[in-house]
Structure 1
Amino acid sequence: MSPAMLIVALIVTPLLGALAVGLLGRWPNLRETATLVTAATLFGLATQLIGPVVNRYDVALEVIEILPGLAITFRLEPLGLIFALLASLLWFVTSVYAIGYMRGAKEPRHTSFYVFFAIAISGAMGVATAGNLLTLFIFYEVLTISTWPLVTHKQNDAARAGGRTYLGILLFTSIGLLLPAIIWTWMAAGTTDFTPGGILFGTLGPTEAAILLTLFVLGIGKAAVMPMHRWLPAAMVAPTPVSALLHAVAVVKAGVFTITKVVIYIFGLDFLANVPLEQWLVYLAGFTVVAASIIALKQVELKRMLAYSTISQLSYIVLAALVLAPFAEIGAAVHIVAHAFGKITLFFCAGAIYVASKKTRLDEIRGIGRRMPWTMVAFTIGAVSMIGVPPTAGFVSKWYIIAGAFQVDNYFTLVVLMLSTGLNAAYFLPIVFRAFFRDEDVPPKVEHGEAPWPMVAALTFTAALVILFFAFNGPIVDIESRILEVGQ
């Protein structure tokens, strides 16, 4: 299969899987087998593109030109390959987890859940392989709309309210801010193609460029930069596998991936270095990092605490991208992967605790580490990675971001990272302490141990990835370094 056809296969395979799941809905085992086979096939297809992308072949496909300089185009470059591999791998792991969760929690409407999950992954593949802003925008919206039924899956009042907030904010930001930014870019540059070094040099003055960048950063609502963040905690009414999808596999990663692509391929680091007003977005991202961490510190529900932690961690990536230093750009790419492995582990653990014990509050998990040791050891690994302690993935990305801040003497970023690290420790470590070193206040109504084995297997695997990525992050670093070399 040619590289261009592999791009088509990345997008079409999840859709075919959704169709198969829908047709097999009456037979649960066959339905879930179709989900797993589709997810495994997608990851296999993504791995087939490693060679062409690494060897610098032009992996591209133009479908149709709508207007001069405005076409539906697909082109897979190294950063997109990272996103495609990450999303496809974690879809398979999340599907294994979801089988245990959906049955263990006795959730309704399993078939529609797996169908929309697959459609959302197709949208993520479209975002990963988009060759320009127009194509990316189309699949960005597909991702928003296909995940709305997942957020409202429970179909109760809380789910409907959360779904309205989710859909309202994401559509408002994309249509009201992102789309005008894309049109402005096309009018200024005559194209929206992702081009190494950027396409806007010499087309906009510093003030115009700062305004346009602001439209992009706020318009890409999936990155959850404040004040465009409220959709994310609102979506916590969804089943935990959906939270894992939102926070680690597809939605938020699509947001920070898009911002990183805009910085590198639309503006270019050299151009933005001559836009002084760009610095205010660095301050906004830094504020989001610290403010979201403070809010997380005050939460009593485990999933809401993790949601605000995600908002903070996403702005690490935005902050790193906007620092405009080579090491920081590497740190942004590395943190996309590191955060995905760590945060999906934490959400898997939260879901396992709920299925096994029906506990959702932080004050209810005293002593639970003795009943659920596998789950809470995995939680500890994920939490330590969020703090940024070796030997975990989170340490690697923070190291590169700090090195990038030193490259350009950006001491604001260093202060933000110091404050955030302390706050992360302040809300994660007490959970670990209570789980392992405190006795249960009230015995559980029903004796329990670990959650169903598919859930434990999935969270153990992702916790292992957190550790492994600490030692084997070289390919991601090399890929990002290559992007920056081409763009210079």
Structure 2
Amino acid sequence: MSTTNLLLTTFALPLILIALILLFRKQPNLREAASIGVGILVFVCNLMLLQHWLTTEEISFTLFTLFPGVTIAFDIEPLGMIFALVASALWPVTTLYALGYMRAHHEPRQTQFYCFFALSIFSVMGIAFAGNLMTLFVFYELLTLATFPLVAHAGTKKAKRGARTYLGILLFSSILFFLLAVISTWHFTGTMDFKLGGILDGVSDGVVSVLLILFVFGVGKAAIMPLHGWLPAAMVAPTPVSALLHAVAVVKAGVFTILKVMVYVFGIERLATIPSGTFLLYLAGFSILFASLVAIRKRNLKARLAWSTVSQLGYITMGALLASPLGVVGSAMHITMHAFSKITLFFCAGAIIVAAHKTEIPQMRGLGKQMPITMLAFGIASLGIIGLPPAGGTWSKWMLLMGTAETEHWILMLILMVSSLLSIGYLLPVTLRAFFPGPEGPAEPVHANGRFDLAPTASLIAIVITTFACLALFFYADAIYQFAMRVV
């Protein structure tokens, strides 16, 4: 199969899946088997694209021309390949988890859920392989629209209110700032194509400084403050959707877009000289620290994880804005490391809700006896977020710390260290409460009903897979590092 056909197949498979899901809407076993099977095929296609790309180092394709100079085009480069592989690897695993969760929780409209899930992954592939700013913007907006029904899935007033906040902030930021930045870039440069080293040669520092502000605030999915409110609001969604938002698609699409624009529109060397860059860099640092402080005060587990995500996204945005090779490589690595750790944490949170009907952290005392695998997985994934061995997050955080040292931003280095200490405070006590409840014992006894772990079987398998991935990324991080180094 030619590389062009392989790339088109990667896009076509999620759309074909939507038709299969509708066809098998009254046969849930076939519907979900098709979802997992097609998810695996998309991942295999991305592996084949990787193999071709490593051989030829050039895979590009123009779908059609909107008007002269503005096209919908796709191109494979290292950052996009990393993002596509992460998203496509986690899609079938999340679908497997959803199978157990949605059935055990008796969620309504499951056919609708799987359809929009597939459409979301289609959008993610478009973002990952976007060859220019217009393509990136189109698929970025499509992802917002595809995930809106997922956030509102429960149909309650609270769910609808959260979904409106989600849609409002993301559309407001993208149309008011992101689209303006795209049009302005085309106006001043005459091109929208991505280019290593940037495309803003000859554009004045003042204009470039404004463009940087427009891009950073326009990409609301990166959740930089004050455009972060959509993320906690979206926690009304079912846990598989939360996993999609926080690990597979939405937030990763945001920080990936920031990183890609910094590298291929501004260029690392030019970015280091932009006056507004310092302000935005320290705004990212503020987001990291403030969100960590909010997270440590939350008693609801999903809310705590949501604020943790706001903080961790700040790491990636900050790394991109450091305008240094180590910062860019650290950000690219953290996209991968955070994805596997955070999805595992949300998988565990959902399993606790379904099996033990507990949402508040104080309720989880002694839960490790009834859900040992789930709570152990939560502890391992927590190490990835904190940045401690033997989880992959150790290396991405180390690279980001080295990036702050390389650029002599000592205050930011201190912020990263304090944030890691705070993440110990808001994540590890969950596991410790579960296994060492103290003299009080469990908050409420949970009957195991003869099962070793109460989590639904399909969900438990997904939890084990992503937990082992967190550990594997610690020992095989060099492969991601070497790949990310191709960017710089």
Q: 2:206 and 2:293 mapped to 1: Cα distance?
A: 32
Residue in 1 that maps onto 2:43: 43
Superposed CA deviations along residues 152-202 of structure 1, whole A, max 9, x for unmatched, are 111011110011001111111111110000000001111111111000022
> Aligned-pair distance for 1:48?
0.6
Residue in 1 that maps onto 2:142: 142
Greater Cα offset, 409-418 or 94-103? 409-418
Residue in 1 that maps onto 2:445: 443
1:383-398 equivalences under 5 Å are 383-398=382-397
Greater Cα offset, 407-416 or 160-169? 407-416
Q: 2:130 and 2:367 mapped to 1: Cα distance?
A: 45
Aligned length: 483
Query: Is the CA contact (8 Å cut-off) linking 2:73 and 2:130 kept in structure 1?
Result: yes
Query: Is the CA contact (8 Å cut-off) linking 1:206 and 1:277 kept in structure 2?
Result: no
Residue in 2 that maps onto 1:460: 464
Amino acid at match of 1:464: F
Amino acid at match of 1:21: I
Identity rate, percent: 47
Superposed CA deviations along residues 357-381 of structure 1, whole A, max 9, x for unmatched, are 1111111100001110000000001
Q: 2:230 and 2:323 mapped to 1: Cα distance?
A: 28
SS across alignment from 1:61: strand
Superposed CA deviations along residues 236-272 of structure 1, whole A, max 9, x for unmatched, are 1111000000000011110000000000000001111
SS across alignment from 1:280: helix
1:466-477 equivalences under 5 Å are 466-477=470-481
Q: 1:189 and 1:24 mapped to 2: Cα distance?
A: 49
1:310-349 equivalences under 5 Å are 310-349=309-348
Superposition TM-score, scaled by structure 1 size: 0.97
Q: 1:386 and 1:12 mapped to 2: Cα distance?
A: 34
Amino acid at match of 1:282: L
Residue in 2 that maps onto 1:361: 360
Residue in 2 that maps onto 1:167: 167
1:383-422 equivalences under 5 Å are 383-422=382-421
Amino acid at match of 2:485: S
SS across alignment from 1:49: helix
Point out 4+ residue stretches in structure 1 off by more than 6 angstroms: none
Amino acid at match of 2:26: R
> Aligned-pair distance for 1:445?
7.6
SS across alignment from 2:224: coil
Amino acid at match of 1:253: K
Residue in 1 that maps onto 2:153: 153
Amino acid at match of 2:141: E
Q: 1:57 and 1:278 mapped to 2: Cα distance?
A: 31
Q: 2:159 and 2:118 mapped to 1: Cα distance?
A: 21
In angstroms, what is the RMSD of aligned CA positions? 1.2
1:270-281 equivalences under 5 Å are 270-281=269-280
Superposed CA deviations along residues 6-54 of structure 1, whole A, max 9, x for unmatched, are 2211111101101100110011111111111111111111111112222
Q: 2:51 and 2:89 mapped to 1: Cα distance?
A: 17
Answering whether residue 254 of structure 2 is matched by residue 252 of structure 1, we say no
Greater Cα offset, 209-218 or 242-251? 209-218
Query: Is the CA contact (8 Å cut-off) linking 1:53 and 1:78 kept in structure 2?
Result: no
Amino acid at match of 1:35: S
1:30-429 equivalences under 5 Å are 30-203=30-203, 205-429=204-428
Query: Is the CA contact (8 Å cut-off) linking 2:395 and 2:474 kept in structure 1?
Result: yes
Query: Is the CA contact (8 Å cut-off) linking 2:173 and 2:219 kept in structure 1?
Result: yes
Q: 2:107 and 2:207 mapped to 1: Cα distance?
A: 50
Q: 1:405 and 1:164 mapped to 2: Cα distance?
A: 37
SS across alignment from 1:66: strand
Q: How has the CA–CA distance of structure 1 residues 313 and 42 changed in structure 2, closer, same or farther, with 3 Å as cutoff?
A: same
Q: 1:445 and 1:373 mapped to 2: Cα distance?
A: 13
SS across alignment from 2:74: strand
Superposed CA deviations along residues 296-325 of structure 1, whole A, max 9, x for unmatched, are 111111001100000100110000111111
Q: 2:34 and 2:420 mapped to 1: Cα distance?
A: 42
Q: 1:162 and 1:76 mapped to 2: Cα distance?
A: 35
Q: 2:194 and 2:417 mapped to 1: Cα distance?
A: 34
Q: 2:460 and 2:167 mapped to 1: Cα distance?
A: 32
Q: 1:274 and 1:286 mapped to 2: Cα distance?
A: 19
> Aligned-pair distance for 1:442?
2.8
> Aligned-pair distance for 1:446?
8.1
